[in-house]
Structure 1
Amino acid sequence: MPLTTGIGRDIRQGRAHDREILRLAVPAFGALVAEPLFLLTDSIIVGHLLDPALGALGVASTGLTALVGLCVFLAYATTAAVARQLGAGDLRQAMRQGVDGMWLAAAIGVVIAVVCWPLAPFIVHVFGATGELAAQAVTFLRVSLLGTPSMLVVLAGTGVLRGLQDTRTPLAVSVGSFVLNGLLNFWFVLGLRWGIAGSAWGTVIAQTLSAAIYLAFVIRSARRHGASLRPDPRGVRAAGAAGFALVIRTACLQIVLLVATSLATRMGEDQIEAHTIAARIWTFLAFSLDAIAIAGQAITGRALGAGDVAATRAATRRMVMWGVASGVVFGAIVLVARPLIPSLFDADALVGDHLMAVLWPVALFQPVAGVVFVLDGVLIGAGDQRYLAWAALASTIVYLPLAALAGGLVALWLALGAWMVARMVTLGARAYGTAWLVTGA
């Protein structure tokens, strides 16, 4: 075969992978950024309240994100499981697993709300919050807990649709929810003057309506493919067991973020407010990069379900390239926008000085984050949860002593950068091998 023919074939295959990645990743990007946009919008609106409202929002939302984040396996494991069954050609079983995931999500959401309501003061105290800061954080957290079942149902429902290679419907739901959240928060916080509680109520209402939409979609699709809507105890237990390693992996990620917030809180009110804003920006960019990872979950699960290892490898290489390029672009955007960011959040001079300093590491580690999120998504799609759990433990062990030695906010964010490098090394070593390329339904 002539060399030019082989090169031309590779170019065509690369373009085909690009089209598939973009078809899934672009709508997924819009859906994923809705959650950090919720937080950014809340921060901007709450930032117009008197201190320490913004700091209280940072503490409470970090605690809530940690609780809900542990359950992100409801989306990730469901995406991988449904995509594998789709690749194997069994849509009935795909929807059966999706329904079981929805039941599991609702049950976990109710348990979290019931257990954590009385523990709200303890949760915010873990972050070092006291006085009025703690009181406002407890208020926000308790109202937000009412929406926990809806949040988890949205996670599971999103996973079902992603597994079916549909990222457009989650985009539509997320855009509608974001608009409604912004309008309600503006009305409740600044119009009705409900304070920080108004911000929580606006988000709870928006998320509840989103959950209702996902339920309607899954019910209709399950009936179309002949899948039962009743919970299958074995299926629910299997969904929980499949996500256990992902819970460990996510718990390690949350420990890193919780430690960072706790240390920033102890540095002072100016530092925690700057850290809160920087964390919002980092989260927004992380969710943006995770759009490619979502494509990785769906593509990898479907390709391995169909037994196509070569396509899995090729798509992985292409997505890593997209991750690095996106990280470079996002980092450049942060550096260009850096002088404008403090005023956007109505930050005072001291908070602005701290924020300007930490935005440097936020920008510089974006290309590393691009590789990390892509490989994380690929291995989740492959069902390689056990390795992901061990890799998360290893990178957390690297981070904790560095964070403990951090003498200021910039050093704390450099420790977070070292954590991302450790994740890139462990995930890259796994992706280079073959142990994760397990085929079949």
Structure 2
Amino acid sequence: MTQAPARPRAGRRQHDREIVTLAVPAFGALVAEPLFLMTDTAIVGHLGTAQLAGLGVASALLMTSVSIFVFLAYATTAAVARRVGAGDLPAAIRQGMDGIWLALLLGAGVVAVALPTAPHLVGLFGTSDAAAPYAITYLRISVLGIPAMLVVLAATGILRGLQDTKTPLYVAIIGFVTNGALNAGLVYGAGLGIAGSAWGTVIAQCGMAAVYLAVVLRGARKHGASLRPDAAGIRASAQAGVPLLVRTLSLRAILMIATAVAARLGDADIAAHQIILSLWNLLAFALDAIAIAGQAIIGRYLGAGDTQGARAACRRMVEWGIAVGVVLGVLVVLTRPAFLPLFTSDSAVKDAALPALVIVALSQPISGIVFVLDGVLMGAGDGPYLAWAMVLTLAVFTPVALLVPALGGGLTALWATMTLMMTMRMLTLWLRSRSGRWIVTGATR
């Protein structure tokens, strides 16, 4: 009788260890990624305003090109984790190789489109005559690294599926240091200017891809997995990624609409919105780390046919999401006075941002639930539902957000609308998790 409660506590401790072991390194790797752009910005910024403006335009295009293919990591994580749970490591690595081949094909396609159309793409941003040549130069060179960047996404998914988030962290750190050194050397030492920054980043990205491939190839040799491209496997990887692509595009549309609405509110509001959005993205890294752990853990449990373990892990990760969300919300409220002066001295911008930051703080526990359940359903391979839910959220968010300038309330009202969007996402994901329809066991969904 006295020992009966020990089981759930032991189960929670086991889940806690798994979550921490996977989430902490994943958080480090996620934070390291934007440091690439920050390094480029700091180095290029000293070349001149036109060069920095060109970098800003080219980087926006590059980040958009890469972010829409993030499904390469998400879908691969879920597929590989299922095979791991089923105890079939050769098939897990084989599944991951299909994702890498798909990444190479997609990367080649992006290069083929972006190289000849670079001037037109830069022109779509209304880039000034002074900045446009620098943007085109940076874009044409940096786009050569996109295949490597997509391989990194797919290979990261393989390692996450294998329950390894430490290797991506180490590779990200080495890549960040290498990128900084190459950029400084090529921009100033070799006198290549903004082209040197682009070449430095491309070399660093190719180096990261090479390290990942070496790790995957070693695992393939160890377990006797085939490395040859398999048309059926590549096609299956692409089909699994389509719903996640729809989800990602819908989410990016929401963020673009929010920015467009903020721009209509006035210069102070759009400036404050940019600051808040930067913070919101930073907070998302902490929550996304738990989601990444969820993808790997849930996929493994379902692959092993352990439905009770999957449900228990889901519940525990939701508790983690809420707890981390509460902590992040408190930190946002407490650090508001110190945070805003880091970005602006304009009192109008501060006045617009302060109440909106309170809304962001209050929404963090909701965001915690959203990120975790998003990760759980990705790990379960429930992409079609995620796509449908995000499209529905976009359809509800758009008219409400567009009414903000007419109804008043300024930036605070816009971020209240963003919270409404996250609440709707939470409801759609919670209903799905409660239904149990995401629980499909076996090595494949």
TM-score (norm 1): 0.88
* Residue aligning to 1:258: 256
* Residue aligning to 1:439: 441
C-alpha distance in structure 1 between counterparts of 2:44 and 2:381, whole Å: 40
Write the mapping of 1:260-339 to structure 2, written as runs, cut at 5 A: 260-264=258-262, 274-339=272-337
C-alpha distance in structure 2 between counterparts of 1:56 and 1:359, whole Å: 31
Inter-CA distance 334–34: structure 2 relative to 1 (3 Å threshold): same
Q: Contact (CA 8 Å) 1:44, 1:344: kept in 2 or not?
A: no
1:243 is displaced (CA, Å) by: 1.0
Q: Which amino acid aligns with 1:439?
A: T
C-alpha distance in structure 2 between counterparts of 1:308 and 1:341, whole Å: 45
- Which among 411, 415, 423 is matched to residue 417 of structure 2? 415
Q: Per the alignment, in what secondary structure is the counterpart of residue 28 of structure 1? A: helix
* Residue aligning to 2:202: 204
Name whichever of 255-264 and 117-126 sits farther off: 117-126
Are 1:429 and 2:426 counterparts?
Answer: no
* Residue aligning to 1:171: 169
1:56 is displaced (CA, Å) by: 5.9
Name whichever of 237-246 and 258-267 sits farther off: 258-267
| Percent identity over paired residues | 56
1:27 is displaced (CA, Å) by: 1.2
| CA deviations over 1:248-303 (Å, ceiling 9, x no partner) | 11111122223334455666776655544433332222122111111111111110
Name whichever of 230-239 and 134-143 sits farther off: 134-143
| CA deviations over 1:160-206 (Å, ceiling 9, x no partner) | 11111111111111111222334445566687786665554443332
- Which among 394, 403, 419 is matched to residue 405 of structure 1? 403
Give the gaps of 5 or more residues in structure 1. none
- Which among 223, 236, 239 is matched to residue 237 of structure 2? 239
| CA deviations over 1:27-81 (Å, ceiling 9, x no partner) | 1111122223334445556666765776665554343332212211111111111
C-alpha distance in structure 2 between counterparts of 1:50 and 1:68, whole Å: 27
Q: Per the alignment, in what secondary structure is the counterpart of residue 325 of structure 1? A: helix
1:84 is displaced (CA, Å) by: 0.6
Q: Which amino acid aligns with 1:437?
A: I
Paired positions, count? 438
1:393 is displaced (CA, Å) by: 0.4
| CA deviations over 1:354-387 (Å, ceiling 9, x no partner) | 7844544443322222111110110011011110
Q: Per the alignment, in what secondary structure is the counterpart of residue 117 of structure 1? A: helix
- Which among 346, 349, 352 is matched to residue 349 of structure 1? 346
Give the gaps of 5 or more residues in structure 2. none
* Residue aligning to 1:385: 383
| CA deviations over 1:302-346 (Å, ceiling 9, x no partner) | 10011101000110111011111112222333333333445545x
C-alpha distance in structure 1 between counterparts of 2:369 and 2:126, whole Å: 34
Q: Contact (CA 8 Å) 2:273, 2:353: kept in 1 or not?
A: no
1:140 is displaced (CA, Å) by: 4.4
C-alpha distance in structure 1 between counterparts of 2:132 and 2:113, whole Å: 19
C-alpha distance in structure 2 between counterparts of 1:161 and 1:83, whole Å: 9
C-alpha distance in structure 2 between counterparts of 1:127 and 1:338, whole Å: 32
* Residue aligning to 1:112: 110
Q: Which amino acid aligns with 1:405?
A: L
* Residue aligning to 1:16: 14
| CA deviations over 1:105-139 (Å, ceiling 9, x no partner) | 01101211221334445545555655656666555
Inter-CA distance 37–143: structure 2 relative to 1 (3 Å threshold): same
C-alpha distance in structure 2 between counterparts of 1:225 and 1:352, whole Å: 57
- Which among 72, 77, 80 is matched to residue 78 of structure 2? 80
C-alpha distance in structure 2 between counterparts of 1:265 and 1:174, whole Å: 34
Name whichever of 334-343 and 80-89 sits farther off: 334-343
Q: Contact (CA 8 Å) 1:126, 1:262: kept in 2 or not?
A: no
1:414 is displaced (CA, Å) by: 3.4
Q: Which amino acid aligns with 1:387?
A: Y
Q: Contact (CA 8 Å) 1:55, 1:276: kept in 2 or not?
A: no
Q: Which amino acid aligns with 2:350?
A: D
Name whichever of 197-206 and 295-304 sits farther off: 197-206
* Residue aligning to 1:102: 100
Q: Contact (CA 8 Å) 2:71, 2:244: kept in 1 or not?
A: yes
Q: Tell me how large the CA RMSD over aligned residues is.
A: 3.0
C-alpha distance in structure 1 between counterparts of 2:291 and 2:303, whole Å: 18
Inter-CA distance 273–130: structure 2 relative to 1 (3 Å threshold): farther
| CA deviations over 1:135-158 (Å, ceiling 9, x no partner) | 665554444322211110000000
1:410 is displaced (CA, Å) by: 4.4
Name whichever of 57-66 and 129-138 sits farther off: 129-138
1:406 is displaced (CA, Å) by: 3.5
Q: Contact (CA 8 Å) 2:81, 2:303: kept in 1 or not?
A: yes
Inter-CA distance 213–374: structure 2 relative to 1 (3 Å threshold): same
Name whichever of 294-303 and 65-74 sits farther off: 65-74
Q: Per the alignment, in what secondary structure is the counterpart of residue 90 of structure 2? A: helix
Q: Which amino acid aligns with 1:400?
A: T
- Which among 41, 59, 62 is matched to residue 61 of structure 1? 59
C-alpha distance in structure 2 between counterparts of 1:49 and 1:343, whole Å: 26
Q: Contact (CA 8 Å) 2:353, 2:411: kept in 1 or not?
A: no
Q: Contact (CA 8 Å) 2:332, 2:357: kept in 1 or not?
A: yes
Q: Which amino acid aligns with 1:116?
A: A
Inter-CA distance 37–337: structure 2 relative to 1 (3 Å threshold): farther
